[in-house]
Amino acid sequence: MVSDTVPKFPFARPHGAEPPVEYARLRATNPISRVELWDGSRPWLLVKWKDIVSVATDERFSKERTRPGFPEMSPGGKEAAKNRPTFVDMDPPDHGHQRGMISDLFTYEHIETMRPKIRETVSQLLDEMLKKYDGQPIDLVEHFSLPVPSYIIYGILGVPFSDLAFLTKQAAIRSNGSATATEASNANQELLNYIGSLVDQRSAEPKDDLISHLVTTQLRPGNLTKADVVQMAFLMLVAGNATMVNMINLGVIELYLKHRDTQLADLRADPRALAPAFVDELCRYHTGSAMAMRRVAKVDVRWGVNLIKAGDGVIMANSSGNRDEDIFPSPDDFDMHRPRGAEAALGYGFGAHRCVAEWLARAEMEEVFVALVTRVPGLRVAAAAEDEIKWTPLNKDVGVVELPSVSTYDNDLAEAVAKLVNTTMFDIVKVLDTDSADDGTKQQANDLLGASVKAPG
């Protein structure tokens, strides 16, 4: 039932990456309730997994942001809702029609054909970061977490290599939370202008990239206007970029600050096999885009004892659903070995609007963490505790602004040891059992391969 006291939303995290305490209380006592947004509107808030997935698949609720009552999280969001919509803000049949224009490029099978290129990009960017490392803490956000997803999506879109630094800078200003509103708006417009010019170039001279695909298959036949193509390309450029950056950072914190002796040791022992499970758990435990699942009721809907009236906004707290005790036992424990049931975590959304680029995101994160645990075995977060990390504002999506990190070992030596990952334990021991294998080398092998591999001493 609706109480007399309506809390302000979004709720603030108590500190660091900890989820708002209100979610656990509401799951136990009042799983559907009203909250008050910045503009005084009072949408419904759903915090239980089953309610969230039910609304996400119920066509009585609309994704169209132009409908009266649709919950916007900020003045900027309300203004952005006036822009030309893309499929993420459409209902059937328009949603399926426009999403289908690009969905074939993001299937599991297609992304797997791209995995070697993703792996190469991750490796090159890691090389560049390691070259800059001089023994002093280096910001993992600036030098690795930010460029990895940016460079990969730029390659898919067909952005020339010479423009990558400029676009990465504008994307960072737009989304890192530390810029002023004017700076973020200007960066947003710079990106739109750039994409517009790129669409013009591909219209004149198509290539093998996503923008050319949209131009040749949709723009030329008249299925889309240039403005449509620009908005769709812009969506692909920015929609998941900040989320991916944050998920990489959060994964590093879980592995290298909080769970070195457990999750990190396990992942090091068999990185290729365990990376998918680690990414699954990361996207359950930390919900990078926690306020994106929103709807507005098209008709009156009876939901339990509550009546959701036509025009009422609905916010589905997927970060709360990912910690639902009825679905995920011991939900506040990070455990990549937890059994995976039929009830999927909600990090990528749910239903028809589930993230179209999910398989790309998974592949990127898997390659990132395999590369880190095998190629930089001595990586450490420079902060001694989570409270020393520079986080995004506590009432925003969880994220990391800066993540100073160090390597406790010589990187050239780490590279040499990392090459042993695909050899047998016997070969590793044989290589290390030499006069030239000093204690540092042996320690790197032990850290890299986990407690099951002990270099002879």
Residues 6+ apart with CB under 8 A from 372: 126, 252, 255, 379
* pLDDT tens profile 347-385: 999 999 999 999 999 999 999 999 999 999 889 999 888
Average pLDDT value for the chain? 87
* pLDDT tens profile 52-63: 999 999 999 999
Q: What is the pLDDT of residue 177?
A: 58
Q: Would you place residue 406 in the very low, low, confident or very high pLDDT band (cuts 50, 70, 90)?
A: confident
Q: What is the pLDDT of residue 292?
A: 87
Report yes or no: 6 and 42 within 8 Å, Cβ to Cβ: yes
State CA 212 to chain mean position distance.
26
% of the chain residues with pLDDT over 70: 87
* 364 or 409, which is more confident: 364
Cα separation, 169 vs 153, in Å, equals 15
Report CA dihedral (168, 169, 175, 179) to the nearest 10 degrees: 180
Residues belonging to the active site: 243, 289, 355, 397
Q: Is the pLDDT of residue 89 over 70?
A: yes
Q: Helix and strand tally (H, E) in the chain?
A: 19, 12
Q: Is the pLDDT of residue 322 over 90?
A: yes
Q: Any idea where the domains of the chain sit in the sequence?
A: 81-290+327-408, 411-457
DSSP-derived secondary structure letter, 265: H
Measured CA distances, 5 to 8, 28, 31, 42 (Å): 10, 18, 15, 11
Cα separation, 48 vs 324, in Å, equals 6
Lowest mean pLDDT among 127-136, 292-301, 447-456: 447-456
Q: What is the pLDDT of residue 187?
A: 86
Cα separation, 414 vs 32, in Å, equals 52
Residues 6+ apart with CB under 8 A from 151: 121, 125, 164, 168
CB atoms within 10 A of CB 227: 12
Q: Would you place residue 394 in the very low, low, confident or very high pLDDT band (cuts 50, 70, 90)?
A: very high
Rounded to two decimals, what is the model's pTM? 0.85
Q: What is the pLDDT of residue 21?
A: 97
What sign has the CA pseudo-torsion 64, 67, 73, 75?
positive
Mean pLDDT of 234-254: 90
Q: What is the pLDDT of residue 66?
A: 95
SS3 content of the chain, % helix, strand, coil (to 5): 55, 10, 40
Q: What is the pLDDT of residue 77?
A: 83
Report CA dihedral (396, 397, 401, 404) to the nearest 10 degrees: 130
CB atoms within 10 A of CB 62: 19
| Class (C level, CATH) for 81-290+327-408 | mainly alpha
* pLDDT tens profile 127-180: 999 999 888 899 999 999 999 998 999 899 999 888 988 888 887 787 665 667
